[in-house]
């Protein structure tokens, strides 16, 4: 290892009301895999966005190969050999793989883009690093794992020597994660240096040479995986001991609440996204749908909650047919829905808390009679819910947009659970939350179950699925390919089903990879 | 943050919010007038003379105040129409067309209903005029809700269609005898009385009952938006259709309802113009009220009460423009330039905020 | 009767009517591909038409008028760009303000310069680009009449519009400019992260659309009419936007969709000849382009996919 290729010294970055980076220093050695570990909001992405020129720091300096540099734009970062793969991919979906890779550095012949040369270049790089991908494919049609490859190729095409990966595993299956780490190792072997941002302890243990931990905008520690364990890392990351397993009493089925039979649903492009799904959810039971993003989860939820047309099949709630019910009737029938994207579907950010809390019940007495709303009743209900669900706010008259992410999610829970539903459909209920808020959401979901409600949980996080669910259904390409009881399957096994595993060859492969990691 | 959340925002917060609400529009109007002055000066006229003439023409005498109110009346309705649409996330740029249809219904009913008592006539003509405006907005509304055809293009196109329809009717089936293409005059008992008919001491010239109806409807609309499920759902869809849908609100139904309500308000603008001012229909009976309504709504930040104030401002400009041209020789079209500038400044809030910044030193210090 | 309708003149007139629509529609394509909605094409066209006449009046040269029209359209677009890109104003609202501003400016300066409202003094028009003598007798006269009318009878901007459509179509899918433009409207942050300036790219696209709008206006005032009348664009900017959507945000598609409108309009004008036979009031013929626009929009919009980032202001970081 020959000296630091990237060093940040005393970087400070302020946002209105937040000190996102407080005199942060760290260095990356040549040929090293450095994990930058921290909770959501710890300031990891801010720091890397500063390095990549997307944000300008309020103080401190960045050094590349020992020389101080001023990076004011991604263009300059690219020119200095820094590449970044963002958590939300920076890919233009309707364009081809090649177009995406060369965008901004297009080879030309005359005034036209030399697509032949572009394709040859892409093929050459993907061969060198073992990142096979079809250069003519439209990005929109690729799997998430493939899209990530395109992102990495984009950085390599631009001659990146330092690669920053922002939460690269968030959307991958365990198998894809292993593959990704394989790729990262081969990149390092070719002389690159890699920083990956994560909040997942196992990944740090499995892949990093060294780990820097951030909390509340500061570096709070640095260690090597060999010198610590996950519990030690967790304590460093959160600042206190963390209980990993949720406490949960075993329960038996107390009667079917939700019954889904042969459900078929189309997506926006009129392709069948849910292809004949059948399952039941009992009262007092949490059923989790596990799967890689884009395998029909969104369409399944939308169909169950009256937001999407059902093509065929039936949905029954406590004996009542709600297959073709509107969202409004579905709510009235007793289905509550914590949507996967709280900004888009969960809240009206411009509405105040009271208005958000009544959305969905706003036509029902005592909140409204004959179309006229009762402000007194609304205020009373809002104050009660805000207190019950510990939403931290100065007033119920502030807009939902002013709350922190955790409080916004509490607001959604307050509305959806406060309605006292028969069935709670929770989609990725902890996405983007910090550990404290995650614990709160999990305990509330368990409380619903213990109160005899049926809960359908959809999550991409296997850890969440494993710790909450009584029963796990694996969804792959619109079909339920596996059902297991809690604790019956390891993450690797679930991951294997999530990617459509079935043949023995794949099983062996995934097992070997698993062993290799341990 | 540890204190218990309160139900209300507190008086100070409400007061400050109100001042903040008004500050941007006021600054915007002043800026627009300054630039308007610069343009007037640049082409060799005296802007002070021009604006004094304008002001005198708008407020100089009770009769001229009446002229201002009369010109503000249709703008209250079109302003409310556009504002209600905006609240529901819809841009009814074609209010002009719905206005024509409202005017058409009044011109027709005003003739066929002759003989009915005046109050009954007024009620019937207002209801039918609102329905006519709503009907003209219905097709764009359905197209928006069903296939997503953008209402900016469709309502605009329906505006042109309405224009040609009226043009045909006043030269053909509804034409009054004589050379001029205009409809038959409506009956006396089908007209809106002037304010001076009710209270002669006002001396407000051509101002008519329409302004009272307009203010009443503005207050009603404010109440609808704030205290009814109809208004709640419209606002919810306007801010975030996806979250509304998740909350059981039918986005399609709300879109259709909202655009039709918007259309009915624009229709009323045509009704009051026919019943209160022209007593008949002709090609040019609207001088772009539908479009000025956009400026009115934006200046009022889509608040129904604010619409009344903004409409009076634009009414005054329109009433004063004539005297400005007459006495200061400045082409009255300059008020359209000022209107456009007002829209810019209100819409680009940063400009006004930038100018107001020195006055907000204290608030800035609190945040830091 | 059919031979009275299907004449070379019908096709020529369709192409002429399509020209301002096509130029504005291609302007809309460029602007919207970059992620900025432009409902101000109407105003840019109107302003271009007026300034073209002003330029031609003062210099006596319609060519200089044309140049002035193009620059004026670009300048008006610069205001739209500043409002919607830099100030992040709602793009539809900014467009509306531009439209009202254009009506105000043209009306105001009409009275300042020409001392009356309504219509300006006539100016020298741009003449047809080709003047080729064909056979005046013999068997080829009829053939020549078709060739001359349908291909060789037009003024310069008409040919220019065709060139713009073809070149623009090729450039959108084969050049750096085109690839980057498409990226801007779909995922501006992706473009930003590879070093493409979103702000600069969008400014350029909006100004280009304004220049095309100004050119469309010049076509109306300096080629078709030879003077300017207040409000003479008469909704063409909006019809052009519909043509752009119908043409799926491509230059060639925009041109062809405009041609559809042009053909319908030309046919409508032809049909008016038979007013004595078919007793339909002229107003109904005049309504047709607007009705057609609604039908086209209703029929196509569900299936046409707009650029994903359209209408959304871009904020760094």
Q: Chain B contacts of A327, Cβ < 8 Å?
A: 245-250
Nearest CB neighbour to B348, from listed C89, C281, C283: C89
- pLDDT band at residue C268, thresholds of 50, 70 and 90? confident
Interface test with A, best of C35, C174, C176 (most A CBs within 10 A): C176
Structure confidence at residue A381 (pLDDT): 96
Q: Is the pLDDT of residue B1 over 50?
A: no
* Chain A contact present for C199, CB below 8 A: no
Structure confidence at residue B225 (pLDDT): 96
Let me know: does B204 contact B62? Beta carbons within 8 Å. yes
Nearest CB neighbour to A108, from listed C176, C191, C193: C176
With CA atoms as reference, report the closest residue to A425 among A443, A445, A447. A445
pLDDT tens string A215-236: 889 999 999 999 988 888 888 8
Q: In whole angstroms, give the CA distance from residue A200 to residue A188.
A: 21
Structure confidence at residue B365 (pLDDT): 35
Does the beta-carbon distance from B348 to C294 stay under 8 Å? no
Name the minimum distance, in Å, from the CA of C189 to any CA of chain A: 7
Does the beta-carbon distance from C283 to B164 stay under 8 Å? yes
Q: In whole angstroms, give the CA distance from residue C269 to residue A308.
A: 47
Higher-confidence position of A99 and C297? A99
Does the beta-carbon distance from A348 to B244 stay under 8 Å? yes
Question: What are the residues whose beta carbons fall under 8 Å from the beta carbon of A220, sequence distance 6 or more?
Answer: A213, A214, A236, A239
Q: Is the pLDDT of residue B368 over 60?
A: no
Let me know: does A85 contact A168? Beta carbons within 8 Å. yes
Does the beta-carbon distance from B233 to A362 stay under 8 Å? yes
Structure confidence at residue A362 (pLDDT): 94
Q: In whole angstroms, give the CA distance from residue B283 to residue B295.
A: 23
Question: Residue A197 pairs with which residues in a beta bridge?
Answer: A36, A166
Question: What are the residues whose beta carbons fall under 8 Å from the beta carbon of B62, sequence distance 6 or more?
Answer: B202, B203, B204, B205
Q: Is the pLDDT of residue A87 over 90?
A: no
Higher-confidence position of C39 and C280? C39
Question: What are the residues whose beta carbons fall under 8 Å from the beta carbon of A369, sequence distance 6 or more?
Answer: none
Let me know: does C38 contact C209? Beta carbons within 8 Å. yes
Structure confidence at residue A15 (pLDDT): 84
What CA–CA distances, in Å, run from A413 to A352, A436, C239?
A: 16, 15, 47
Does the beta-carbon distance from A92 to C186 stay under 8 Å? yes
C-alpha B74, offset from chain centre:
6
| Closest chain A residue by Cα to residue C170 | A112
Q: In whole angstroms, give the CA distance from residue A415 to residue A253.
A: 26
Q: Chain B contacts of A425, Cβ < 8 Å?
A: none
Token pair of B257 as six digits: 């309802």
Token pair of A348 as six digits: 């009206």
Q: In whole angstroms, give the CA distance from residue C263 to residue B22.
A: 51
Ranked by mean pLDDT, the top range of A508-517, B146-155, B204-213 is B204-213
Nearest CB neighbour to C87, from listed B153, B158, B351: B351
Q: Is the pLDDT of residue C262 over 60?
A: yes
With CA atoms as reference, report the closest residue to B73 among B296, B279, B259, B222. B296
| Closest chain C residue by Cα to residue B159 | C290
- pLDDT band at residue B308, thresholds of 50, 70 and 90? very high
Q: Which residues, numbered 43 to 72 in chain B, qualify as contacts with chain C under a Cβ-Cβ cut-off of 8 Å?
A: 43
Interface test with A, best of B5, B233, B244 (most A CBs within 10 A): B5
Mean pLDDT of A316-334: 95
* Rounded (10°) angle between helices B151-171 and C282-300: 160
**pTM, to two decimals:** 0.88
Structure confidence at residue B86 (pLDDT): 95
Structure confidence at residue C2 (pLDDT): 66
What's the mean per-residue pLDDT of chain A? 89
Question: What are the residues whose beta carbons fall under 8 Å from the beta carbon of A293, sequence distance 6 or more?
Answer: A144, A171, A460
Name the minimum distance, in Å, from the CA of C306 to any CA of chain A: 11
Does the beta-carbon distance from B228 to A372 stay under 8 Å? yes
Structure confidence at residue A244 (pLDDT): 55
* Chain B contact present for C298, CB below 8 A: yes
Count other Cβ atoms within 10 Å, centred on residue A517: 16
Structure confidence at residue C9 (pLDDT): 86
Structure confidence at residue A73 (pLDDT): 87
Q: In whole angstroms, give the CA distance from residue A175 to residue A145.
A: 10
Let me know: does C21 contact C289? Beta carbons within 8 Å. no
Q: In whole angstroms, give the CA distance from residue C195 to residue C198.
A: 9
Q: Chain C contacts of A158, Cβ < 8 Å?
A: 194
Count other Cβ atoms within 10 Å, centred on residue A146: 18
Q: Is the pLDDT of residue B363 over 60?
A: no
Q: In whole angstroms, give the CA distance from residue A138 to residue A94.
A: 6
Q: Is the pLDDT of residue B358 over 70?
A: no
Does the beta-carbon distance from B228 to A393 stay under 8 Å? no
Interface test with A, best of B10, B13, B243, B302 (most A CBs within 10 A): B243
With CA atoms as reference, report the closest residue to A393 among A413, A407, A380, A377. A407
Q: In whole angstroms, give the CA distance from residue C229 to residue C210.
A: 20
Nearest CB neighbour to C100, from listed B150, B295, B348: B295
Q: In whole angstroms, give the CA distance from residue A274 to residue A300.
A: 6
pLDDT tens string A136-172: 999 988 888 889 999 999 999 999 999 999 988 877 8
Q: In whole angstroms, give the CA distance from residue B256 to residue B85.
A: 10
Q: Is the pLDDT of residue B3 over 60?
A: no
What ipTM, to 2 d.p.?
0.88
Q: Is the pLDDT of residue A214 over 60?
A: yes
Q: In whole angstroms, give the CA distance from residue A337 to residue C53.
A: 62
What CA–CA distances, in Å, run from B243 to A351, A433, C256?
A: 11, 20, 39
Average the pLDDT over each of A248-252, A511-515, B232-236 and give the range with the smallest value.
A511-515
Q: In whole angstroms, give the CA distance from residue B69 to residue B60.
A: 13
Phi, psi torsion values for A263, nearest 5 degrees = -75, 130
Token pair of C296 as six digits: 């086209």
Q: In whole angstroms, give the CA distance from residue A214 to residue B67.
A: 69
Token pair of A312 as six digits: 């065929």
Name the minimum distance, in Å, from the CA of B347 to any CA of chain A: 17
Token pair of B134 as six digits: 């709503």
Question: What would the DSSP string read from start to end of C265-276?
Answer: HHHHHHHGGGGG
pLDDT tens string A6-51: 999 999 999 877 788 999 999 999 999 999 998 877 889 899 999 9
Let me know: does B248 contact A326? Beta carbons within 8 Å. yes
Name the minimum distance, in Å, from the CA of C204 to any CA of chain A: 17
Structure confidence at residue C302 (pLDDT): 58
Average the pLDDT over each of A239-248, B39-48, B258-267, C203-212 and give the range with the smallest value.
A239-248
Average the pLDDT over each of B25-34, C65-74, C124-133 and give the range with the smallest value.
C124-133
Q: Is the pLDDT of residue A508 over 50?
A: no
With CA atoms as reference, report the closest residue to C131 among C103, C161, C151, C146. C151
Subunits adjacent to chain B (3 or more Cβ pairs under 8 Å): A, C
Nearest CB neighbour to A346, from listed B3, B4, B243: B243
Q: Is the pLDDT of residue A507 over 50?
A: no
Q: Is the pLDDT of residue C239 over 50?
A: yes
Q: Chain C contacts of B82, Cβ < 8 Å?
A: none
With CA atoms as reference, report the closest residue to A198 among A461, A452, A393, A458. A461
Phi, psi torsion values for A193, nearest 5 degrees = -125, 140
With CA atoms as reference, report the closest residue to A175 among A446, A398, A476. A476
Does the beta-carbon distance from B337 to C283 stay under 8 Å? no
* Chain C contact present for B149, CB below 8 A: yes
Count other Cβ atoms within 10 Å, centred on residue A78: 24
Pairing outcome for strands A454-459 and A285-290: parallel
Nearest CB neighbour to B5, from listed A331, A344, A395: A395
Structure confidence at residue B31 (pLDDT): 92
- pLDDT band at residue A268, thresholds of 50, 70 and 90? confident
Q: Map chain B to HEC letters.
A: CCCCCECCCCHHHHHHHHHHHHHHHHHHHHHHHHHHHHHHHHCCCCHHHHHHHHHHHHHCCHHHHHHHHHHHHHHHHHHHHHHHHHHCCCCCCCHHHHHHHHHHHHHHHHHHCCCCCHHHHHHHHHHHHHHHHHHHHHHHHHHHHHHCCCHHHHHHHHHHHHHHHHHHHHHCCCECCCCCCEECCCCHHHCCCEHHHHCHHHCCCCCECHHHHHHHHHHHHHHHHHHEHHHHHHHHHHHCHHHHHHCCCCHHHHHHHHHHHHHHHHHHHHHHHHHHHHCCCECCCCCCHHHHHHHHHHHCCCCHHHHHHHHHHHHHHHHHHHHHHHHHCCCCCHHHHHHHHHHHHHHCHHHHHHHHHHHHHHHHHHHC
Q: In whole angstroms, give the CA distance from residue B336 to residue A425.
A: 54
pLDDT tens string B186-221: 989 999 999 999 888 888 989 999 999 999 999 999
Burial (Cβ within 10 Å: 0-12, 13-18, ≥19) of residue A45: buried
Q: In whole angstroms, give the CA distance from residue A259 to residue A281.
A: 7
Q: What is the CA radius of gyration of chain C?
A: 20
Q: Map A347-406 to HEC letters.
A: CCCCCEHHHHHHCCCCCCCCCEECCEECHHHHHHHHHHHHHHCCCCCCECCCEHHHCCHH
| Closest chain B residue by Cα to residue C111 | B331
Question: What would the DSSP string read from start to end of A89-104?
Answer: ----TTSBHHHHHHTT
- pLDDT band at residue C126, thresholds of 50, 70 and 90? confident
Q: Which residues, numbered 207 to 246 in chain B, qualify as contacts with chain A under a Cβ-Cβ cut-off of 8 Å?
A: 227-230, 232-233, 235-236, 239-240, 242-246
Let me know: does B307 contact B83? Beta carbons within 8 Å. yes
**CB pairs B-C closer than 8 Å:** 129
Average the pLDDT over each of A409-413, B87-91, C274-278 and give the range with the smallest value.
C274-278
Q: How many Cα atoms within 13 Å fall on the side-chain side of residue C137? A: 0
Q: In whole angstroms, give the CA distance from residue A409 to residue A439.
A: 12
Opening angle at CA A76, ends A41 and A114, nearest 5 = 115
Let me know: does A361 contact A386? Beta carbons within 8 Å. no
- pLDDT band at residue B367, thresholds of 50, 70 and 90? very low
Higher-confidence position of B158 and C288? B158
- pLDDT band at residue C275, thresholds of 50, 70 and 90? low
- pLDDT band at residue C101, thresholds of 50, 70 and 90? very high
């Amino acid at each position: 290892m020959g000296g630091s290729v990237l060093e940040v010294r005393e970087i400070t970055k302020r946002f209105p009301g937040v000190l996102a980076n407080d005199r942060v220093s760290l260095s990356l050695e040549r040929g090293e895999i450095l994990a930058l570990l921290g909770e959501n909001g710890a300031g990891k992405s801010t720091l890397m966005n500063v390095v990549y020129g997307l944000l300008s720091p309020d103080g401190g300096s960045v050094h590349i190969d020992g020389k101080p540099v001023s990076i004011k734009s991604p263009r300059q970062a690219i020119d200095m050999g820094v590449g970044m793969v963002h958590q939300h991919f920076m890919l233009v979906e309707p364009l081809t793989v090649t177009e995406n890779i060369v965008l901004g550095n297009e080879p030309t012949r005359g005034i036209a883009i030399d697509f032949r040369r572009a394709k040859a270049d892409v093929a050459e790089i993907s061969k060198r690093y073992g990142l096979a991908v079809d250069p003519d494919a439209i990005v929109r049609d690729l799997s998430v794992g493939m899209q990530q490859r395109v992102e990495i190729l984009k950085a390599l095409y631009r001659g990146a020597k330092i690669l920053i990966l922002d939460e690269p595993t968030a959307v991958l299956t365990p198998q894809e994660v292993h593959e990704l780490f394989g790729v990262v190792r081969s990149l390092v072997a070719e002389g690159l240096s890699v920083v990956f941002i994560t909040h997942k302890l196992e990944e740090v243990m499995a892949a990093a040479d060294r780990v820097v931990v951030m909390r509340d905008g500061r570096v709070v520690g640095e260690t090597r995986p060999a010198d610590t364990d996950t519990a030690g890392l967790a304590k460093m990351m959160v600042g206190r001991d963390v209980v990993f397993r949720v406490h949960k009493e075993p329960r038996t089925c107390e009667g079917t609440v939700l019954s889904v039979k042969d459900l078929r649903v189309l997506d926006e492009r009129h392709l069948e996204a849910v292809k004949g799904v059948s399952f039941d959810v009992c009262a007092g039971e949490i059923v989790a749908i596990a799967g890689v993003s884009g395998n029909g989860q969104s369409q399944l939820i939308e169909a169950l909650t009256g937001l999407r047309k059902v093509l065929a099949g039936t949905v029954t709630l406590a004996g009542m047919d709600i297959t073709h019910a509107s969202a409004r009737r579905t709510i009235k029938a007793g289905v509550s829905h914590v949507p996967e994207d709280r900004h888009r579907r969960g809240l009206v950010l411009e509405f105040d808390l009271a208005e958000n809390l009544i959305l969905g019940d706003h036509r029902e007495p005592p909140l409204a009679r004959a179309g006229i709303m009762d402000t007194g009743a609304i205020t009373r209900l809002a104050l009660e819910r805000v207190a019950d669900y510990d939403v931290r706010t100065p007033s119920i008259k502030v807009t939902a947009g002013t709350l922190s992410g955790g409080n916004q999610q509490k607001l959604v829970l307050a509305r959806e659970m406060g309605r006292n539903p028969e069935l709670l459909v929770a989609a990725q209920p902890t996405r983007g939350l910090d550990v404290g808020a995650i614990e709160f959401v999990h305990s509330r979901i368990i409380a619903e179950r213990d109160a005899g409600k049926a809960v359908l949980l959809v999550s991409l996080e296997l850890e969440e699925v494993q710790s909450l669910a009584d029963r796990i259904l694996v969804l792959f390409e619109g079909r339920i390919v596996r059902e297991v009881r809690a604790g019956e399957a390891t993450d690797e096994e679930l991951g294997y089903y999530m990617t459509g595993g079935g043949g023995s060859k794949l099983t062996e492969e995934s097992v070997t990879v698993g062993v290799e990691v341990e | 943050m540890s204190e218990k959340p309160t139900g209300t925002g507190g008086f100070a917060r409400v007061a400050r919010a109100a001042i903040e609400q008004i500050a941007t529009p006021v600054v915007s109007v002043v800026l627009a007038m300054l630039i308007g002055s610069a343009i007037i000066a640049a082409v060799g006229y005296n802007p002070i003379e021009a604006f004094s003439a304008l002001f005198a023409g708008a407020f100089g005498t009770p009769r001229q105040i009446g002229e201002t109110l009369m010109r503000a009346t249709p703008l209250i309705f079109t302003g409310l129409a556009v504002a209600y649409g905006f609240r529901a996330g819809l841009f009814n740029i074609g209010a002009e067309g719905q206005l024509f249809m409202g005017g058409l219904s009044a011109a027709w009913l005003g003739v066929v209903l002759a003989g009915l008592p005046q109050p009954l006539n007024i009620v019937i003509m207002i209801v039918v005029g609102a329905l006519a405006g709503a009907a003209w907005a219905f097709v764009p509304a359905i197209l928006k809700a069903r296939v997503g055809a953008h209402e900016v293009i469709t309502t605009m196109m329906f505006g042109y269609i309405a224009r040609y329809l009226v043009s045909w009717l006043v030269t053909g089936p509804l034409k009054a005898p004589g050379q001029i293409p205009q409809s038959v005059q409506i009956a006396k008992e089908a007209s809106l009385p002037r304010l001076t008919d009710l209270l002669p001491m006002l001396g407000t010239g051509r101002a008519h009952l329409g302004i009272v109806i307009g203010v009443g409807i503005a207050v009603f609309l404010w109440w609808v938006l704030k205290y009814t499920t109809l208004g709640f759902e419209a606002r919810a869809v306007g801010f975030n259709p996806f979250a509304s849908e998740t909350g059981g609100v039918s986005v399609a139904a709300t879109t259709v309802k909202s655009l039709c309500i918007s259309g009915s308000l624009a229709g009323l603008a045509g009704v009051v113009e026919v019943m209160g001012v022209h007593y008949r229909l002709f090609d040019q009976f609207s001088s772009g009220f539908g479009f000025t309504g956009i400026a009115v709504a934006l200046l009022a930040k889509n608040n129904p009460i604010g619409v009344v104030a903004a409409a009076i401002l634009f009414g005054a400009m329109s009433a004063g423009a004539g005297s400005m041209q007459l006495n200061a020789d400045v082409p009255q079209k300059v008020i359209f330039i000022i209107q456009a500038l007002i829209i810019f400044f209100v819409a680009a809030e940063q400009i006004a905020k930038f100018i107001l910044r020195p006055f907000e030193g204290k608030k800035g210090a609190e945040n830091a | 009767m059919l031979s009275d309708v299907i004449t070379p003149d019908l096709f020529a007139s369709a192409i002429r009517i399509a020209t301002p629509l096509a130029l504005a529609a291609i302007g809309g394509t460029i602007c919207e591909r970059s992620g900025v909605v432009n409902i101000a094409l109407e105003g840019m066209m109107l302003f271009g038409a007026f300034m073209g006449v002003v330029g031609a009046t003062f210099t006596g040269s319609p060519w200089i008028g044309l140049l002035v029209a193009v620059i004026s359209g670009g300048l008006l677009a610069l205001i739209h760009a500043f409002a919607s890109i830099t100030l992040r104003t709602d793009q539809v609202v900014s467009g509306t303000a531009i439209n009202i501003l254009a009506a105000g400016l043209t009306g105001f300066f009409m009275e300042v310069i020409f001392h009356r409202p309504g219509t300006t003094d006539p100016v020298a028009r741009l003449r047809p680009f080709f003047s080729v003598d064909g056979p005046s007798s013999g068997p080829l006269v009829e053939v020549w009449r078709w060739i001359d009318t349908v291909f060789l009878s037009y003024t310069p901007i008409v040919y220019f519009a065709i060139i713009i459509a073809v070149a623009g179509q090729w450039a959108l899918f084969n050049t750096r400019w085109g690839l980057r433009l498409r990226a801007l409207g779909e995922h501006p942050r992706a473009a930003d992260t590879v070093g493409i300036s979103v702000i600069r790219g969008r400014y350029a696209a909006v100004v280009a659309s304004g220049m095309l709008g100004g050119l469309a206006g010049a076509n109306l005032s300096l080629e078709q009419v030879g003077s300017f009348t207040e409000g003479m664009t008469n909704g063409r900017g909006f019809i052009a936007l519909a043509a752009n959507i119908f043409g799926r945000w491509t230059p060639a598609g925009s041109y062809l969709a405009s041609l559809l409108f042009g053909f319908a309009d030309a046919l409508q004008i032809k049909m008016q000849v038979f007013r004595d036979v078919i007793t339909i009031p002229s107003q109904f013929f005049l309504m047709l382009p607007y009705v057609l626009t609604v039908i086209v929009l209703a029929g196509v919009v569900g299936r046409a996919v707009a650029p994903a980032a359209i209408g959304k202001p871009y904020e760094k970081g």
